[in-house]
Every structure is written in C-alpha cells, then in structure tokens.
C-alpha cells in the first residue's frame, strides 16, 4: 500500500474510536462532545458526521498551528467551538461555556504527523531542524535549552523512565561530554550523537527513537498532563457518557488502564458487605483494548503502537 505523503496526516483508529463513542451519542436532544486533541481534525470530522444540527463539538489543542488548521477546516460549521488549551484543562473550558456535562470525550495522545513532518518543530530525528520539541512553542523550555543545562543524572532518568532506553546512561554521558565542546542546537546533532552510542539493530528502530520520545514526553509534561486529565474528564461526563483514549506509549496506556479499572474506588473483598451494600463504581471499562488492524498498520506504520481504551461513566459524583 502507498505510504502517506510527507506532511499528510492519517487519523489512527478512526472508525473504531467513533464507534465506541456512538452509544453515548444515541440519547439526548442536544449532545455535547469534546475532542481534546484536535490535531488536524480527523477525529473531529468523524464525530461531526454523527451529530445533528443542534449538537455541539468542542475541540481543544495546545498547539497554535493545529488551532489555526482547525479554525480553517471548520470555519463554516456553527456546531464547532475551538479553544487553545491543554487537555488537562477540559473541566475549566467546559465550565466556561456553561455546560453542566458532556456526552463523549475523545483523546488521541502523543505527537501528530504534521508535528513530526515539519522539521522546524524539532520532533523528528529524520529531519534536521531546531531542537525544540514543544507542542506549544510559546510555552516552557525547548529540548535544546534543557539538554544543554540539565545534570547528567536527570538526562539519564528521562531517557530511561520516559524513553525506556536501556542505553540511557551512555547516551546521557555522551550528551554532557558533547555539550562541553559545542551546544546541542539541532535534531541532527542529537540523532548522530545517539547513533554513535547505539549501533543500528535488526529491529528496524532508528537508534534515536526512544531517546527522542523520552525527551518529548518530558519537555511537554505529557504523563503529568494525562494524570491530571483523567479525573477532570470523568468529572464532566454525564452518567452514561463515554471517554475514549488512544495512546501510543506503554506508560500512557498503563496509566489509562489502571484509571479505567477505578481501583481507588473498589471496596476491599475483606470487608463483610452484602452485594447490595457495595457502592457502584463511578465508571467502568468498556470491552477490551483495541489495536490497529494489519491493514491500518500497512497504510500507516505510526499506528502500530496505538491502543484504544474506553470507559463509561456510571454516576455523576465528581471524580
């Protein structure tokens, strides 16, 4: 199958995610949905096909270039509201609109294809550009600023914990040694430095894959954002509302899986309670994890690590 052209974006698990949200969109006279990671609008467009003229779709993204693209794409659709915000801010944005609750929420985590394909964003080890990696270039410090000033131990921990890079110690040592001679400013510098430490293996992964991933997650506080987002999203869902999350990293997926099990709300089996006395869980997972099909992976290799999980709200007390 043909590979996607550079700069194009293929929405991952599109039909599967919308289908899993569909039961939450089958009731009510004015449905309200939120796509908290709008990107280039693939999931949003699919959700709009399921909505009627009286329904509303709120789209969030922290990336100003994504916001501009979304505003252009949906300029003529009066059902669409677009806000530049981190997805962890969902509750404050929803409340600012005067909405008491929403019916469905969709989150597609990680970096988008345009971000990877635009060299000047600094996400890609395959394209030389400024070593930035910020999803919102106007906020926080760049990857270059951090790498040129962080202690070796901190760099090693980020590569190991967020990138799951087993050569983290050697790479961190190499970075510190390199920056003593010249500052790290370009993605090509970092990629070449890592390649000197890690020989290319038969796995097909570029030697820089895990390190770039770990640095990106750290720079954008992605795991912290997800940790804040999960209870905030559940707090604005109505009873019977659904939350669908697509993750691409094992740490993210593990966090989502544990939260969806609602472990913190489960009553210990050691307590002498009758079934009728056991309080209901505030939400529950819907079905099993869904992965991209073989056909989708062939068309879009970036979907190979995608995992879709869905949970349904069972009652409306704040999370």
For CA atoms 222, 225, 231, 233, give the dihedral sign: negative
**SS3 (DSSP) at 111:** coil
Q: For residues 244 and 318, which has the higher predicted lDDT (pLDDT)?
A: 244
Q: What is the pLDDT of residue 185?
A: 97
Where along the chain do its domains lie? 14-113+222-313, 136-219
Q: Say if pTM beats, i.e. exceeds, 0.85.
A: yes
Instruction: Please report which confidence band the pLDDT of residue 7 belongs to, taking 50, 70 and 90 as the band edges.
Output: very low
**14-113+222-313 shares its CATH topology with 136-219:** no
Backbone angles phi, psi at 185, to 5 degrees: -130, -20
Q: What is the pLDDT of residue 264?
A: 67
Residue 279 pLDDT > 90: no
- The number of beta carbons lying within 10 Å of the beta carbon of residue 285 is 17
Residue located via tokens 């079934």: 275
- Classify residue 204 by burial, with Cβ atoms within 10 Å: 0-12, 13-18, 19+: exposed
In CATH terms, is domain 14-113+222-313 a member of 3.40.50.150? Answer: yes
Give residue-wise pLDDT tens across range 188-229: 999 999 999 997 665 668 899 999 999 999 999 999 999 999
Residue 139 near residue 162 (C-beta atoms within 8 A): no
Residues in binding site: 41-43, 61, 87, 108, 115
* Of 14-28, 133-147, 241-255, minimum mean pLDDT range: 14-28
Q: What is the pLDDT of residue 4?
A: 38
Superfamily name and number for 136-219 = Putative methyltransferase TM0872, insert domain (1.10.150.170)
Give residue-wise pLDDT tens across range 11-26: 899 999 999 999 999 8
Residue located via tokens 């796509």: 35
Residues in binding site for S-adenosyl-L-methionine: 41-43, 61, 87, 108, 115
Q: What is the pLDDT of residue 46?
A: 97
CA distance 157 to 168: 8
């Amino acid at each position: 199958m043909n590979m996607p052209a550079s700069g194009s974006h293929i929405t991952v698990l599109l039909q599967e995610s919308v289908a899993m949200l569909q039961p939450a969109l089958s009731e009510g006279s004015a449905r309200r949905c939120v796509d908290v990671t709008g990107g280039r609008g693939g999931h949003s467009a699919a959700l709009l096909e399921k909505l009627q003229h009286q329904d509303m779709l709120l789209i969030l993204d922290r990336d100003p270039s994504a916001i501009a693209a979304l505003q252009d794409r949906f300029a003529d659709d009066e059902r669409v509201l677009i806000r530049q915000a981190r997805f962890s801010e969902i509750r404050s944005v929803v409340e600012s609109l005067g909405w008491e609750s929403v019916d469905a929420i969709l989150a597609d985590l990680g970096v988008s294809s345009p971000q990877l394909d635009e060299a000047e964003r600094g996400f890609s080890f395959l394209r030389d550009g400024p070593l930035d990696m910020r999803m919102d270039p106007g906020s926080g410090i760049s990857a270059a600023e951090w790498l040129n000033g962080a202690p070796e131990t901190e760099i090693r921990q980020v590569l190991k914990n967020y990138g799951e890079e087993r050569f983290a110690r050697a790479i961190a040592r190499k970075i510190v040694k390199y920056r003593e001679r010249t500052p790290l400013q370009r993605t090509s510098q970092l990629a070449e430095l890592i390649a000197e430490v890690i020989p290319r293996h038969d796995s097909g992964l570029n030697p820089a894959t895990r390190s770039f991933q770990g640095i990106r997650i750290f720079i954008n506080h992605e795991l912290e954002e997800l940790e804040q987002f999960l209870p905030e999203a559940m707090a604005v869902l109505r009873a019977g509302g659904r939350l669908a999350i697509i993750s691409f990293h094992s740490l993210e997926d593990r966090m989502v899986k544990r939260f969806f099990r609602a472990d913190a709300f489960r009553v210990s089996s050691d307590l002498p309670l009758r079934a009728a006395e056991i309080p209901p869980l505030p939400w529950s997972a819907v079905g099993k994890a869904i992965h991209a099909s073989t056909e989708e992976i062939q068309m879009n290799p970036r979907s190979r690590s995608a995992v879709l999980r869905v949970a349904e709200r069972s009652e409306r007390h704040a999370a």
